[in-house]
A and B are shown apart, each in its own frame.
Chain A
């Protein structure tokens, strides 16, 4: 076995001193999560938190999906009185808000939380306590908004909450405040995870994983984390200003007092457009991983794809105005955003062509994950191309805020993010649970989802072109939109059935699926180098990376790094570019304080909906729990 030995510390047992079985047992004890409720709430294991994140993300997908079902039932026939305007407006707001803030962003991060540390070959995510805190804040925020909705005080101004409609004058009551605070919750959670991913990728990579050996999955999540870090503050600023306008009578958006309603739109879309890519980039991460494994060769054009990801990241910040083409902006300025919006088709195109090239040269194996990726190509490319139409100012003046746009972004988001995500679940489920998902049910799921999706959303292009605006709770029979809408509703029903098949498959396979083994797909990246599910410490010995596809390059045994402590949590810090071993650093132990902090923060956030003083009274409480959280303990290397 080839080994790289790290500089030993004195007197503590190292992984070099122990036989394999004994080592695995002692590492599992050191890195394990205690039993009981306190143990469960104290855990800092990225896999346990990641699993909760994924399950919670899917829970919100189901809730958001049920909201969509309600809308489709209401719109199935003209002049329907099933759902009135008040409830309908809440439902479409909850659908958008849930899908964007509680599913779209967190689910990509959730898979990153689970998989990135495994893929880069380390034992835990950077800042694991922050990770736990982030999950609880996300969960509590999501519960808050759905409880508000259940109490009939759900937000009703759309997921974009345009002012002045969402301002104090036209939205009295607390509905818009719940929305604004939900944004605060989810952004705090998202930013925390983004920081963890960036640091994990930069500093915790296994020795030898130089920048050009980082898996494309990890590259995509890394770029995505930067998008989150730069995009989210804009909407947090916006939602804070909205709350200030509503609670403290400031006038940021009140044109009568020198404010400007368009300021809100700029702040919102400066976040809102990168947001689309924040949802899509994890999709590219899944596609790159699945295409390589099932085409049986490395993804073609690795440097081109990495550069495309980075280019997409930069360009995504220069397109936000295409959401505002009809607000009466100067024409020349709008033209700039036409050009930049169309330009982003180029890096996206590069990725698509590279994946197709990979399939061309490879020898595709048609398993369910690849089927979903093929569905992704079919749907996402169509959505991307209708996006090129929306980038044109003149065309946009006709289709903006119509069902054409609804069709477009469902093609992009469901095609670009949800299909790859489902593929990813089929692909990594064996790693998460140790069991395979049923293949026959998987295929059935795919075809139902693929047909259901297209039947539901393709007709919306036409209803939009034939004049149907978005966000209408009903429409008169004489508009001639009834047939199209009925078809959409039937397609949506089929799409729902596909998810029922999925849920059944997951439930059945989690107990009775085939045992997966470490690497059921013969994949190349490091998460497959450990058991399924992985032990608490991820790897008995930290891998030493010699190739971009370590498990394909080292068929016999993976070279490893040794010299880490066994009885305390220790990770290898490597240099940023060359990934040379640099330091051994202790990784935080489990603690319940992140959970307590999340509760305190939740109370403060919710209380600020009702009184600004919550901030003043809450701050000392927050400070106290943070002090407990960060209370220093004597660490070996400090002595």
Chain B
């Protein structure tokens, strides 16, 4: 199944039109919509307050005034009117502050009161990648993927957030606000995309060396396309059919790769690094660091520390003729 082709084709379009990529000002879901509206309301009111204050300052500097006898000779009349003016300004400030608090509270209640959704994901933050598990009542329909979340358009999705090491923060600004991932706790967040597309997210809490390269892509599909994607992900990896890819699989299975990575349908069952069962279907590798291509896979396997210094992927000392079969094998895991 090659269900992700449309997404791959859509990628360059998204890249050029980049506002929809990862921006809180370009909301693509109901939550981000509310947040953007809130932002603009606050910005309008507060910009007005700033302008009024600056106007008052400007006028106070430009005002023509009479010479006074000495710095301590104050006019009681002027002092009184100033007291009135300052009191009015303070009352105005208080009114705005109270109004904004109420607006904020109302939005907060509407946004964060519900944690119900038909689809539940468990997202686990690792240094520096995302483990994504699709939960299901039937254990056989649970599956794990990495660095990419696919969701059906128009459906709320509950995300349970857990950490396997340090604090991270899950943030896909085009869809929702961020939520921290704190070790020992499980935070929850509901996201929803109102149209199809690819929305980029990125870890928002400093988490060490490669905090800058810990991105996640949320791909929103129409419901039936999403179901097709899900069925494909549930299935185990198809065994390779051509000799080159077979050789690639042998290389993979005979190297330390299997200590960390899992490919369902093979003996590789490591759990500390991204699940590679359908790695060929993903948009990116190394948590959004490189677009997924055979060349980039080869680059990543040959020199992970050059591309993402500090990443936990070690250098595999592969012979020159082992790279191609291996990358062909991985690329074919769709």
Chain A residues proximal to chain B, CB less than 8 Å: 84-86, 89, 157-158, 162, 164-165, 170, 255-256, 260-262, 296-298, 300-301, 304, 326-328, 331, 334-335, 338-339, 342-343, 345-346, 349-350, 352-354, 356-357, 359-361, 363-364, 374, 377-378, 381-382, 385-386, 388-389, 391-402, 465-467, 469-476, 478-480, 524, 547, 549, 552-553
Contact = CB atoms under 8 A, between A and B. Distances in A.
Given A297-B71, A298-B71, A393-B108, A342 B101 contact: yes
Contacts of B211: 469, 471-473
Contacts of A162: 166-167, 205-206
A327 B180 contact: yes
A170 B183 contact: no
A360 B60 contact: yes
A349 B310 CA distance: 47
Contacts of B183: 164, 255, 261
Given A85-B209, A394-B38, 9 more contacts: A89-B208, A157-B206, A326-B169, A328-B180, A363-B68, A378-B54, A401-B205, A467-B173, A469-B211
Interface stretch (B83-91, B258-266, B320-328): B83-91
Contacts of A158: 206
A374 B39 CA distance: 28
A367 to B, nearest CB: 14
Interface string B40-64: 0011001101100110110111010
Contact of B39 (A255, A298, A388, A398): A398
A327 B182 contact: yes
Given A346-B97, A398-B178, A301 B184 contact: no
Interface residues of B, number: 89
5 contacts: A162-B166, A300-B86, A361-B65, A398-B24, A552-B70
Contact of A260 (B176, B184, B210): B184
By secondary structure, the A interface counts as helix
A457 to B, nearest CB: 15
Nearest to A259: B184
A397 B178 contact: yes
Contact of A300 (B70, B79, B207): B79
Interface string B13-54: 001001101111100000010110011001100110110011
Contacts of B35: 394-395, 397-398
A596 to B, nearest CB: 40
A326 B22 contact: no
Interface in B153-182: 165-167, 169, 171, 173, 176-180, 182
B100 A478 contact: no
Interface string B196-207: 000010111111
Given A326-B177, A363-B68, A478-B18, A381 B100 contact: no
Contacts of A479: 18, 21-22
Contacts of B86: 300-301, 304, 350, 353-354, 357
B78 interface: yes
B204 A86 contact: no
Given A552-B70, A553-B72, A392 B100 contact: yes
A246 B113 CA distance: 39
Most buried by B among A164, A335, A467, A547: A467
A479 to B, nearest CB: 7
Given A158-B206, A480-B19, A356 B56 contact: yes
B94 interface: yes
A340 B203 CA distance: 29
Contact of B100 (A298, A388, A398, A402): A388
Contacts of A354: 86
- Which 8 pairs show the lowest CB-CB distances between chains A and B? A397-B177, A255-B184, A360-B60, A467-B22, A472-B212, A328-B187, A392-B104, A480-B18
Interface string B306-319: 00011000000000
Contact of A170 (B49, B53, B165): B165
A466 B179 contact: no
Interface of B: 15, 18-19, 21-25, 32, 34-35, 38-39, 42-43, 46-47, 49-50, 53-54, 56-57, 59-61, 63, 65, 67-68, 70-72, 74, 78-79, 82-83, 85-86, 89-90, 93-94, 97, 100-101, 103-105, 107-109, 111-113, 127, 165-167, 169, 171, 173, 176-180, 182-185, 187-188, 200, 202-212, 288, 309-310
A478 B13 CA distance: 11
B171 A469 contact: yes
Contact of B203 (A356, A399, A465, A469): A469
B60 A359 contact: yes
Nearest to A349: B93
B34 A394 contact: yes
A547 to B, nearest CB: 8
A425 B206 CA distance: 36
A398 B177 contact: yes
Most buried by B among A84, A360, A466, A471: A360
Contacts of A381: 50, 53-54
Contacts of A473: 211-212
A348 B89 CA distance: 12
A40 B90 CA distance: 50
Contact of B46 (A298, A364, A389): A389
A113 to B, nearest CB: 28
B82 A300 contact: yes
A535 B57 CA distance: 39
A331 B112 contact: yes
A459 B112 CA distance: 30
B43 A389 contact: yes
Nearest to B200: A467
Contacts of B165: 164, 170
